[in-house]
Amino acid sequence: MSDAPQRTCRDRALSVVRGYAHKDAAAVQEALAGLDASGWIEVYALLTGLLRSTISIMELAGRHWKLDDLVRRSDDIATAAPPHYEFAMAEAARAWAVGDESAMRALSCRDVPGAVHMTAVGIAVLGLTLWGKAGFLDVIEEFDAAADALANDPAPGV
């Protein structure tokens, strides 16, 4: 039995986003290594929530992106993805940038690992656009600390 601490699905979700933010293919692969089917689904659920939060913050802040910048950044970050997902992510980013979410939904329904990669790339693209690299990595750390506090502290009055 290993003395290494068990990595939670939240740890893995945040690690894959960090890997994409750094454009580090090895970190992306390591973050997701050894996941079983339920682990992939949980990581996807966590990333989907983080993506919705990131989009909401951009909207509340009134931040907008140029479509060509979004696609270019997505193409750049997706180079850290497993090669068999890189092209699919580029196509889905282009479709999403013009308001067509069908490509993203289609991938998530038939290939959860592909949806995990696509969602993590999307979070990295939007987070880097919103906060820059250092700021985005700080936001990820703050999110992790807040999630730890919620998970480890009983609810008020309990």
- Residue 4, in any domain of the structure: no
∠ Cα 99 72 33 (to 5°): 90
How many domains would you assign to the chain? 1
Question: Among 1, 116, 129, 113, which Cα is nearest to 61's?
Answer: 129
From CA 137, how far away is CA 10, in angstroms rounded? Answer: 15
DSSP character for 81?
S
> What does the pLDDT look like over 19-53, one tens digit per residue?
999 999 999 999 999 999 999 999 999 999 999 99
Structural contact between residues 148 and 93, judged by C-beta atoms closer than 8 angstroms: no
Does a structural domain hold residue 1?
no
158 within domain boundaries: no
Q: What is the pLDDT of residues 119-133, one digit of tens each?
A: 999 899 989 988 899
- Structural domain harbouring 48: 9-152
Q: Is residue 27 part of a domain?
A: yes
pTM for the predicted model, two decimal places? 0.85
Answer whether residue 28 is part of any domain: yes
70 phi and psi angles, rounded to 5 deg: -60, -45
Asked if the structure places residue 49 within a domain, the reply is yes
Question: Is 14 within a domain?
Answer: yes
**Residue 46 domain-assigned?**
yes
* pLDDT more than 70, % of the chain: 89
pLDDT tens for each residue of 104-115:
666 556 789 988
> Whose CA is closest to 99, among 56, 51, 67?
67
